[in-house]
Amino acid sequence: MTPRPPLRTAHTAELGTDGLRSVRALLDAAFDGGFSDEDWDHTLGGLHVLVQDGQGVAAHGSVVMRRTRHRGRWLRTGYVEAVAVRADVRRTGLGGRVMGALEGIVDRAYDLGALSASEAGAALYASRGWQRWAGQVHGLSPDGIVRLAEEEGGIHLWPARDGEPLDPRHELVLDWRDGDVA
């Protein structure tokens, strides 16, 4: 039996130019060219979980710090970004291993976990315990709070550390960023 390649956890600053280039290449391929420069920017500045094998980066995900307001309280949110598995090793458990490590980071360092899931990715996240947010989503824009109706239904949350569930009768307000806010 072939040993499983180890997980590596590293801050963006530790990946170096070649490491970042390899991650970006994986993401460009995995998202069929639909991974924008703004998506890339959202991936950086936090912790990355990678699996590398003899062919290079086989799987990746990152978690970055964001602020999310709910019921008047700003929560430190571990926002999961850029989860991808190279095409030739999909369905081998690498995505689950990367997500498990990211969830552990969220559990230890943040009040809440969040991510924006595609329809294709939503089943994986739901099977791991991520809960689809059923309430409204807003963004704290440079012009004030604006509703992000197009993001509603795609946001998934990892339960808050204090165990108090968020109430979908009250909106989530995400901090602003260029590109897709969620």
**Residue 16, domain CATH:** 3.40.630.30
In a domain, 67, yes or no: yes
pLDDT at 179 over 70: yes
In a domain, 22, yes or no: yes
Using only C-alpha atoms, the chain has a radius of gyration, in whole angstroms, of 16
Number of domains in the chain: 1
Domain that holds residue 96: 7-175
Contact present, 182 and 133 (Cβ < 8 Å) = no
| Paired tokens of 121 | 């990715």
pLDDT at 164 over 80: no
Least-confidence region, from 21-30, 44-53, 157-166? 157-166
Task: Output the pLDDT for position 135.
Answer: 96
Confidence tier at 3 by pLDDT (50, 70, 90): confident
In a domain, 180, yes or no: no
The string of pLDDT tens digits covering residues 27-48 is 999 999 899 999 999 999 999 9
Contact present, 136 and 110 (Cβ < 8 Å) = no
Matching residue, tokens 């280039």: 21
In a domain, 56, yes or no: yes
Task: Output the pLDDT for position 4.
Answer: 86
Confidence tier at 61 by pLDDT (50, 70, 90): very high
* Predicted TM-score (pTM) of this structure: 0.94
Per-position DSSP letters for the chain, written without gaps between them: -PPPPPEEEEEHHHHHHHHHHHHHHHHHHHTTT---HHHHHHH-SSEEEEEEETTEEEEEEEEEEEEEEETTEEEEEEEEEEEEE-GGGTTSSHHHHHHHHHHHHHHHH-SEEEEE--HHHHHHHHHTT-EE--S-EEEEETTEEEE-GGGTTTEEEEPPTT-----TTS-EEEEP-SS---
In a domain, 44, yes or no: yes
Task: Output the pLDDT for position 161.
Answer: 67
pLDDT at 173 over 90: yes
In a domain, 120, yes or no: yes
In a domain, 57, yes or no: yes
In a domain, 182, yes or no: no
The string of pLDDT tens digits covering residues 87-125 is 999 999 999 999 999 999 999 999 999 999 988 889 889
